[in-house]
Amino acid sequence: MSNNNINLIIRGGKVVSPSSTIEADVAISDEKIVAVVSPGVLPKAEREIDAAGHYVLPGAIDSHVHFREPGYAYKEDWGTGTAAAACGGTTSVFEMPNTNPPTGTLEALKLKQDCAAAQAYVDYGIYGLLDEDNIDVLEDLIGAGVSGFKCFMGNTFGDLPAPSDGAMLEGFEILARHGYRCTVHAENPSIMARRQERMVQAGRTDPLAHLAARPEVCAVEAVGRAVAFAEWTGARLHIAHKSSKDALYILKDAKARGVDVTVETCPHYLLMSTDDMTTLGGALRVNPPVREPGHAEALWEALHEGTIDMIATDHAPHQPDEKSSKNIWECDCGFPGVETQMPIMLTQVNAGRMTLNQYVKWSAHAPAHAWGCYPNKGVIQAGSDADIVVVSLDKGYIIDRENLHSKSKMTVWHGFETTATVAWTLVRGRTVVENSVLIGESGWGKKIEQKMPEPAPQNIEKSMDAIVKAPRF
């Protein structure tokens, strides 16, 4: 093979896909992988990464991050958020619309696109907001390049009001016609508001009051409602941050019926419980809350049997003073996670909770499929973007909040001992992280190109669009 156009070779590592782990060298020309071949076949290239003793993985694709800009750049900006992603082995992110202004108008989208284009270290998609007042703007947002939509069915940081069911259904009808996927924060707002108010009146301000305000039934109801609307309209659906075992049966049944619904869970739901809430307090306040012991096992099982498709982080940075009040209601919800996901989950691989192949499936392969960017992303094969992570599975470290690239040092993982390390991260052929040090260039990250499968709208003749045009008798 001629190496004329090969400018980088990752040599001597083990290349991982959902179905195989093979010793292979990876040749890269500019932004693309051009060959994955048996060790030693390729002549020397101008640049080489010695991956001996390491594993070579597709970069993680995170369906759920909050980078806060515009509006809350003191919590995070696109530079620090995507730097954190790169250092954690995440090469693509999908960023949420609860910024200020929220990403529900063309102007707000443009503001965010400019922030992202100027600063991103990794590739990105931007979510548009689906809310009560912007149903007539959804198609414009699609035209202007959003990657998908987010509907806050329940209140969370940013306090964006949940749309009415009427608006949500109409929004889904529109997204269905375009084949777009809508992510939902599936919690029932009226149950939560009533419970929180009653507990505040009763003087409860302890960490577990947060859990009590948001019982699993909130998710059961909202997941069921979202699935009903998605199935009726044919809109693609994505369930954000699945935290409990309770709504899994709805999702399992929906998938069996052929509903295009994908589901994510996060490291904190897989590895933490209310026991940690009592020690971490406001730092661990998150929506939905981490649950009592026992739920995590059910989430692991759901990953293994396919009801949950992928691991996302819900990277939700806040400042220490926003998370430290003794009064749980005064603590902002969420914490950073994009930089720690891969080392923590690879530590679970070492602990035998999943295979490395499964990890690749859940961190890269499945999200690439869900967001229509496979096989450009999510796989190491000729023709794909060179979004690659080289990791060590026998060198760990202790997570230290001060070493995070996020502006938020409020990690709940401070002191966690990993048994794995992200050594190199490549984004479209560029080395962004080398020997665990950020060397990339801010602004290299690009909007992710997507090609969703053909739209499959249902009940079109009963959609708002059709009925307002129907003849009157």
Is residue 328 a contact partner of residue 282, using CB atoms and an 8 Å limit? yes
Rounded distance between C-alpha atoms, residue 338 and residue 317, angstroms? 10
Task: Find the binding residues for ligand NCD in span 82-111 (CB under 6 A).
Answer: 98
Task: Find the binding residues for Zn ion in span 104-163 (CB under 5 A).
Answer: 156
Rounded distance between C-alpha atoms, residue 213 and residue 190, angstroms? 11
Beta carbon nearer to ligand NCD, 151 or 333: 333
Is residue 112 a contact partner of residue 142, using CB atoms and an 8 Å limit? no
Choose among ligand NCD, Zn ion, none what residue 286 binds, the Cβ cut-off being 5 to 8 Å by kind: ligand NCD
Tell me which DSSP letter residue 380 carries.
Answer: -
The token pair that represents 165 in the structure block: 């069911």
Beta carbon nearer to ligand NCD, 157 or 413: 157
Residue 126 CB partners (closer than 8 Å, separation 6+)? 94, 95, 97, 103, 109, 112, 113, 116, 145, 146, 147, 447
406 binds ligand NCD (CB under 6 A): no
For residue 204, give the nearest of 329, 325, 322, 290 by alpha carbon: 329
334 binds ligand NCD (CB under 6 A): yes
Rounded distance between C-alpha atoms, residue 78 and residue 125, angstroms? 12
Rounded distance between C-alpha atoms, residue 186 and residue 190, angstroms? 12
Q: Tell me, residue by residue from 167 to 186, as one string, x for binding to ligand NCD by CB under 6 A and - for no binding.
A: ------------------x-
**C-alpha separations of 45 from 3, 109, 428 in Å:** 7, 41, 17
Which alpha helices (DSSP H) does 182-334 contain, by range? 189-201, 207-213, 216-233, 248-256, 267-271, 274-280, 295-305
238 binds Zn ion (CB under 5 A): no
55 binds ligand NCD (CB under 6 A): no
322 binds ligand NCD (CB under 6 A): no
Task: Find the binding residues for ligand NCD in span 65-84 (CB under 6 A).
Answer: 66
Number of residues that bind Zn ion (CB under 5 A): 2
The correct pick among 55, 94, 157, 300 for binding ligand NCD (CB under 6 A) is 157
Count CB atoms within 10 A of the CB of residue 283: 20
Beta carbon nearer to Zn ion, 243 or 421: 243
The correct pick among 112, 185, 225, 238 for binding Zn ion (CB under 5 A) is 185
Is residue 416 a contact partner of residue 398, using CB atoms and an 8 Å limit? yes
HSE at residue 236, side-chain half, CA atoms within 13 A, is: 19
The correct pick among 314, 339, 385, 387 for binding ligand NCD (CB under 6 A) is 314
333 binds ligand NCD (CB under 6 A): yes
Choose among ligand NCD, Zn ion, none what residue 66 binds, the Cβ cut-off being 5 to 8 Å by kind: ligand NCD
For residue 92, give the nearest of 296, 298, 460, 387 by alpha carbon: 387
Task: Find the binding residues for ligand NCD in span 127-156 (CB under 6 A).
Answer: 156
Beta carbon nearer to Zn ion, 156 or 341: 156
Shortest distance, position 287 Cβ to Zn ion, whole Å: 6
Shortest distance, position 135 Cβ to ligand NCD, whole Å: 22
214 binds Zn ion (CB under 5 A): no
Beta carbon nearer to ligand NCD, 269 or 424: 269
Beta carbon nearer to ligand NCD, 87 or 333: 333
Residues that bind Zn ion (CB under 5 A): 156, 185
Residues that bind ligand NCD (CB under 6 A): 66, 98, 156-157, 185, 286-287, 314, 316, 333-334
